[in-house]
Every structure is written in C-alpha cells, then in structure tokens.
Amino acid sequence: MSALLSAFIGLVFLLTAGFKVFFALPFITHTRKFKLIPERLNALLAVLFIEMEAGLGMAMVLHLYPLELIPFTIGLILFFSIVTWWGIKTGRTQDCGCYGAFLNLELWQTLVLNAGYILILLVAWLNTDQDDYNEFWKVGIVLATILIFHFTLKRTVKKPLFSIFGLRKGNFWKQNWYQTDKTPHDYLFVFLDESCQECREWISQLNEIYPHLNHFNLIGLMPMQFDGTDESKELIPCFPIHKLNAIVFYLLMGQIPLAVLVKQHRINMVWRKVFPEELFSRNH
C-alpha cells in the first residue's frame, strides 16, 4: 500500500515536471513574479527546480528511501503552498504555476489538492515498515531521469520542443489566431513574452515606430495568462496587444521575439529573434 500511494504522488510530480519542461519559458516567467531570488539566478534556479521535481517524482515512483523522502516531500509541498498563498495574496501572481501553461488553478483548489497530496503521503509514510527499498538500480533510474529532463530543458528554455502550427513563409494565417480581414492593410504580428529581455527591447523600438506606421497594422501577441499581472506592467506597448491562449501561443511562436508579416491572409515574411528593421525602413 505504501509503495502504491508513493508511486501515485511520484506520477503527479513527473506529470507536473513534464508540463513545465514542455513549456519552460512560462514557468521561468512565473517564478520571476515572486521576486524572491535575484533576476540573474532566476532561470537557473527554475530549471534546477524542474529537474529536482522530476528526480523526486521518479524516486517516489520507485519507492526509493521512503522513510526519508516522504517527509521531505511533505515539507516541500507545505513550503510551496505557503509561497503560493503569499504570492497570490500580495498580488504578485494569480496561480501556483504548478502545471505550467496547461492548468491555472484558484488558490483554494491548489491548497485542497496539496492537502490531499500531504494526506496520501502521510498514510504512505505511516505504512512504511522499514527502509528496504533502496536497490542501486533505482538510483541509476533517478539520475537518468534528471539527465533526460536536463538536456530537454536546455532546448526548451530557448524555444518550445516543437511548433505545431507552422509559422513559415507561404503558409496561411489562421483567422482564429487573429482576424486579418478587418481592414485591407497588411499585418505585422510580433510575438512577445515578458520572460525575455529582447522582447522588452523590441517593445521600446516598436513604441517609437508605431505612431509613424501607415502601410500595415502592427499587432502584438502575448500569452493570455500574463494579463493583469504586476510584471506585465513593466511592458507598456503603445500598439495594440492581442492575448492568445498560453498553450496556443507557445506552440505557435517557436522562438521569441518573433515577427510575422501577413499579406492577403498568407505569411509573407518571418523574422525570428531578428528585429525587422528593413520593413520599417521601407515604411518610412
């Protein structure tokens, strides 16, 4: 029974770590909002946290060192429950960020879930008779899990694992992303995320250029989950901003910042991490 309950919690940890590794950028952005650690260390510590969560999850699945790891895990859940409560009550964030961009929970939902996890772990710990689950091969699997997440994160902290929608020259722009048939003008869409410094630099440049544009519409696209947060107030675009579902946003963009020129509902040009200076030069 103890092994079964421990494995259930371990699977939850692996699942939530998987959500975070799939979309690392929004999780890194989320941790920045708490402002508990220096900015320069934020991304590194966020990545280490995901790796630790994955390793701990696999250890729980394998019932490795249950007498030690179960109390440690309970302590972690309690600690991050307090941090989440404090972050939401102070207005620094809107949710715990536990499930990446896939699921945003209310505070009470997070606390109820965490209380349930703690209860399950307590039952598992009380039913663990002796620490006889520590075969060496299990340690190897835990380390392998951490390495897999580490090398995957090296990719996803730069861009998502894949972009399923294909923002490529010649492809059609889908109207459910943004309706481009409102006016006869061409559209320049810029994908921006508060997690990257380059996006802030782009916004500064675009704010200067926007009042002088007359050949196309400039639209900023940002993930919906960051609407209304204190952190987003640091980004003050003078041009229109359209919010996309966070999951769609991160699957769509590939890399940030990203600019897409759309003519007659078809993608004409794509700039990935390169500011489209030549386009604005032609506009002037």
Q: What is the predicted pLDDT for the residue at 221?
A: 86
| Rounded CA separation 192/148 (Å) | 29
**What's the CATH number of domain 186-283, 3.40.50.720, 3.90.1660.10, 3.40.50.1220, 3.40.30.10?**
3.40.30.10
**pLDDT value, residue 56:** 95
Ranges of residues in the chain whose predicted pLDDT is under 50: 164, 226-234
> Rounded to whole angstroms, how far apart are CA atoms 27 and 104?
12
pLDDT at 170: 82
pLDDT at 122: 94
Q: Which residues pair with 258 in a beta bridge?
A: 191, 272
Coil vs helix vs strand at 217: strand
Question: Can you give the pLDDT at residue 233?
Answer: 47
Residue 241, sorted as left (phi over 0), alpha (psi -120 to 50) or beta, turns out to be beta
Residue-level pLDDT at 25: 73
Residue 194's pLDDT is what? Answer: 67
Closest CA to 47 of 69, 33, 70, 31: 31
The candidate with the shortest Cα–Cα distance to 49, out of 34, 68, 64, is: 34
pTM of the shown model: 0.66
- The three-class DSSP label of residue 13 is helix
Structural domain boundaries in the chain: 2-156, 186-283
Please write the tens of the pLDDT for every residue from 257-282.
888 898 888 888 888 778 888 777 75
Q: Find the angle CA(51)-CA(226)-CA(99) to the nearest 5 degrees.
A: 35
